[in-house]
Amino acid sequence: MTDEYVTVAGEGHASFGDRGSEFVGYVTGAASEEEAQGFVDDVRDGHPDATHHVSAYRVRDAGTVRGIYDDDGEPSGSAGKPVLGVLRGECTENVVCVVVRYYGGTKLGYGGLVTAYSRTAKRALEDAGTRKTVPRDEVRVEVGYDDSGTVRDVLESEDVGYDAEYGEKVVLVARIPTGRADGVVDRLLSATSGRARIER
């Protein structure tokens, strides 16, 4: 697996109708299964009267990508699986999609469901847009004021953005590309002669 991957650029929304049934799709980014499930719950709460709330997500977990789907009462493999297939087919990661269905009174059949759910998911994903990114580690660096300039210099030389809080100590929180995090941490410890307190 390469360090660079594709995720969504923002939130997406789309709708699709077939023989009276209405399908409404939502897509957003999710950095964990908890975030993805939280989005599914939010969409479910926003459409309490929908017949089905079908979902799928792909999130990175310890260097691998987990793909999860839920048919939510539709025939097995006819709904969540094709939605997951869209996410996988577009090579997107850290993304979640929910498609809600309002049943219109006419059964669509297995093939009709696959088409409706995948088409709605694809339109929502297209609406969200995609971007390339790299996995990052959040690194928290706590130092005294005397070392804070040194830490900022190291982070800026590595082209790493950070947020700083100034209290009794200086706390800098940086999001460092995972493949470079060990090297940056070593540089920070070396530059401060081990005085920096670093948490990842």
List pLDDT tens digits, range 159-199.
888 999 999 999 999 988 888 889 999 999 999 999 999 99
Mean pLDDT of all residues in 68-89: 97
**∠ CA 28-79-68 to the nearest 5 degrees?**
55
| Higher-confidence position of 135 and 128 | 128
Question: Which of these ranges, 44-48, 148-152, 159-163, 194-198, has the smallest mean pLDDT?
Answer: 159-163
> Which fold does the domain 5-133 belong to in CATH?
Ribosomal Protein S5; domain 2 (3.30.230)
Q: Are 133 and 194 in contact (CB under 8 A)?
A: no
How many DSSP H helices and E strands does the chain contain? Answer: 5, 11
Domain 136-199 has CATH 2.60.40.420: no
For the chain, give every residue range classified as CATH 3.30.230.30: 5-133
For the chain, give every residue range classified as CATH 3.30.70.240: 136-199
Residue 8 pLDDT greater than 60, yes or no? yes
